[in-house]
Structure 1
Amino acid sequence: MKFVRFGAPGAETPGLLDDTGTLRDLSGVIDDLAGDALGDLAQFGDRAATTLPPVPGTPRLGPCVGGTGKFLCIGLNYADHAAEGGWDLPGEPVMFMKATSAISGANDAIVIPRGAEKVDWEVELAIVIGRTAKYVSEEEAPAHIAGYCIANDVSERSFQLERGGQWTKGKSCDGFGPLGPWLVTPDELGDVQALDIWLDVNGERMQSGTTGTMIFNTHHIVSYLSQFLTLYPGDVIATGTPPGVGLGMKPPRFLKPGDVVEAGIAGLGLQRQEVVADG
C-alpha cells in the first residue's frame, strides 16, 4: 500500500492511495501514520481501502510519517558517490543525524538559510521503522521495517565542512529533510535493492543510479544501527546517495533561489521542491 499524510503543516491527516490513485482518508481508522500504527500497516488492504472516504481536491502532502524521534543517515553508501568526493570506502556504515525539525513535505520549498553559500542536493532511499528494533539480526530486520520513502538529504556544504565540528549543522536547517510523497510497504515495493533513483535540477539530470550499488543494504543497516541504539516506530533512516551531488562537480554547483529540484525513486513517487531565499 501507499500511505500519505495530507493537510497543513503540523496538522496532517493520515491517508492512503487506492489502486486507482484516489486519495482516501484514514483518520477514521487511525490518528496518524505514527507510533504503533506503523507496525501493522498490512491491515489496510485493498478491500478496506475502497470503503474509506475519498479526499476532495489536491491537498498538500506532508511528510509521509509522523512522530519521528530520530532522523538517522548513512554517509558514503554508494561506491561511486564516495569516489566523486575522493573519500575511501567505509568498512562499516557511516552514521550521522539530521534534526527532526528539518523534516518537511515532499513538495515543500527548500529555503536557503541566511549566510548559506553552498546548498546541495542528495536524493536517498529512506527506511521507516515500524516495530522497535534492538540488537536485531540482518535476517530479523525486515520485520521491523514499516516501509520506504524518498528523502532529499539537503546539505549546506559550507556549514557542514567549513564551520568546524561535525556534519549536523550543515544537514539540519529547517526544511532540509523532505520525506515522501508516499510511504510504501515492502510487499508493494518489491526488491528494494533494485530500484532506479534519480534527481533533476531545472530539468537537468544530476543524479542517476540504482539502489543495487549500495555498499550496505537496507537490512544490514537496520541490524547494524540497532546494535548501538534502539530504533523506534517512526524513526527514519536515509541510506545514502548516488553520484551527482553539486559538491562533486567541477566546478561545484549549488542551489540558488528560483531553482526547481525533482527527485524520484522507482515505486516511491516523485518529489518537487522550489528553492527560495529565507525571508
Structure 2
Amino acid sequence: MSVATRATVDGETARRRGWGWLLLVPGMLYLSVFFIFPTIQLFFTSLYDPSGSFEQGYAMTWHFANYVDALRDNWNLFGRSFLYAGAATALCLALGYPLAYAIAFKSGRWKHVMLVLVIAPFFTSFLLRTLSWRTILADEGPITSFLQFIAVLPDDGRLLATPVAVIAGLTYNFMPFMTLPIYASLDKVDYRLVEASNDLYASPFTGFRKVTFPLSMPGVVAGTLLTFIPACGDYINAELLGTPQQYMVGNRIQSAFLTEHNYPLAASLSLILMAVVVAMVVVYVRRAGTEDLL
C-alpha cells in the first residue's frame, strides 16, 4: 500500500471515529441535564443549614455534619435496606436462573410465549402489582391460611406487615430484571459446548458448573445489579406491605423530602445511599471478574 493510499485510509478511519463520538452527544446531553446537574444540586442541598425551614428557606452554610447526622440517626435503615435488597436479589437469582435456563434451552417453540409471560407484569403499574400482594398475603388470604393449616405459621401468625412480605414484594417486582439478562446470556451459549462436556464424561452438574454457568456470568452480574440497585432505594413495598418497623432508607428519604420538607437530611441520605451502592457495585463487579461491565 502506498503512502498516499495509507494516508487516505487513515483519514477516513479518523473521520468515522469522529462521527462515532458525535453519536454520544445526545446521550451525554441527556445525562448532563437529568442526572449530573440534579446530582450536583442535590450535593449543594445536602450542605444547607439544617436549622432552616421550608417556609423561611435554607441558607448555604457548607454544613458537612449533615452527613454524619444522617448516617448516625438512620444507620439501621441502611442496614435493613441492604439486607432486604440482598435477600430479594438472592431469591430472584434462585428463581430466575432456572426459569431463564428453561426458556433458553428447553422451551422450544414456546420460547417467545414464555418471554412474554416474564415481562407480562410490566403491563400493569408497579403500584397495582404491589397492592395485589396485600390481598395475596392478607391474614385471611390463601397463603397465610395454608401455612397455618400445615402448622408452619401459628394460628395467630401472619405474613403481611412483616419482613417476609416486603422481601416477597421486592422479589416479585424485580424478578424480570434478573431473568431477562440471564436469558440473554444463556441464549448466546453454544449448546454444542454443553454436549462436548457430556462427551468428555462430565456429569450434568459438572458440565453446568464448568461450562454453562461461567458463560452466563455476564447475565448473572447484570441481573443482580439491575435487581439490587433499585431494590435498595425502593420504598413502595415497605410502605404497602410492611409497617414502620420494616421501613427502608427510601421511606425515610421520601418522608424527609415530601412530608417534613427537610431537604438537607433527604439530600444527605440520598447521596450516602448512592455512594455506598456505587462502592458496592464496583467491588462486586471486580470480584466477579467482569470489569468490562464498568
Which structure is larger by alpha-carbon Rg, 1 or 2?
2
* TM-score between both structures, scaled by the size of structure 1: 0.25
More strand by share: 1
* TM-score between both structures, scaled by the size of structure 2: 0.24
